[in-house]
Chains A and B, each alone.
Chain A
Amino acid sequence: MRMKFLALAAVALLAACESTPNDAANGANTGAQQTSVRPGSSEDFVVNVGDRVFFGFDRYDLSPEARATLDRQAKWLGTYGSVTVTVEGHSDERGTREYNLALGERRANSVKNYLVAQGVSPSRVNVVSYGKERPAVVGSNEAAWSQNRRGVTVVN
Chain B
Amino acid sequence: MTTKKTRLLLKLAGTAGALLLSLGVAAPQEARAELRIDITRGVSEPLPIAVTSFAGAGGRDAQMGADISKVISDDLERSGLFKPLDPRGFLQTPDQLRTGEPRYQDWKALGAQALVAGNTTTGADGRMKVDFRLWDVAAGQYMQGLSYSASPQEWRRIAHIVADAIYKRLTGEDGYFDTRIVYVAESGPANARKKQLAIMDQDSANHQFLTDGQTLVLTPRFSPTTQEITYMSYFNKKPRVYLFNIDTGRQEVLGDFPGMTFAPRFSPDGNRVVMSMAQNGNTDIYTLDLRTRRQTQLTDAPGIDTGPSYSPDGQKIVFESDRGGSQQLYVMGADGSGVKRLTFGEGRYATPVWSPRGDLIAFTRQRGSSFAIGVIRPDGTGERILTEAFHVEGPTWAPNGRVLMYFKDLPSGDGRGRNAKLYSIDITGANERRVSTPLDASDPAWSPLIP
Contacts and interface: CB of A to CB of B under 8 A. Distances in A.
Interface of A: 60, 86, 93-99, 101-103, 105-106, 109-110, 113, 128-130, 133-140
Given A128-B237, A140-B411, A97 B281 contact: no
A98 B306 contact: yes
> Which among A113, A130, A133, A136 has the highest number of chain B CB atoms within 10 Å?
A133
Interface string B293-306: 00000000000101
Contacts of A99: 304, 306-307, 320, 322, 327, 348, 350
A138 B278 contact: no
B274 interface: no
Contacts of A133: 193, 195, 216, 218
B280 interface: yes
A107 to B, nearest CB: 9
A94 B216 contact: no
B281 A106 contact: yes
B273 to A, nearest CB: 15
Given A96-B366, A99-B320, 17 more contacts: A94-B366, A95-B366, A96-B350, A96-B364, A98-B262, A99-B304, A101-B260, A101-B278, A102-B306, A105-B281, A105-B283, A128-B238, A129-B278, A133-B193, A133-B195, A133-B216, A139-B417
Contact of B239 (A101, A103, A113, A137): A101
Contact of B190 (A98, A113, A128, A135): A135
B219 interface: yes
Nearest to B364: A96
Contacts of B193: 133-134
Nearest to B305: A102
A133 B417 CA distance: 12
A101 to B, nearest CB: 5
Contacts of B238: 128
B72 interface: no
A60 B394 CA distance: 24
Contact of B191 (A86, A106, A110, A135): A135
13 contacts: A95-B348, A96-B307, A96-B350, A96-B394, A98-B219, A98-B262, A98-B350, A99-B304, A103-B304, A133-B195, A138-B189, A138-B191, A138-B416
> Which among A102, A129, A133, A134 has the highest number of chain B CB atoms within 10 Å?
A102
Contacts of A110: 281
B391 A93 contact: yes
A139 B418 CA distance: 9
A156 to B, nearest CB: 10
B443 interface: yes
B276 A98 contact: yes
B3 interface: no
A61 to B, nearest CB: 11
A82 to B, nearest CB: 21
A101 B417 CA distance: 20
B318 interface: no
Contacts of A105: 259-260, 278-279, 281, 283
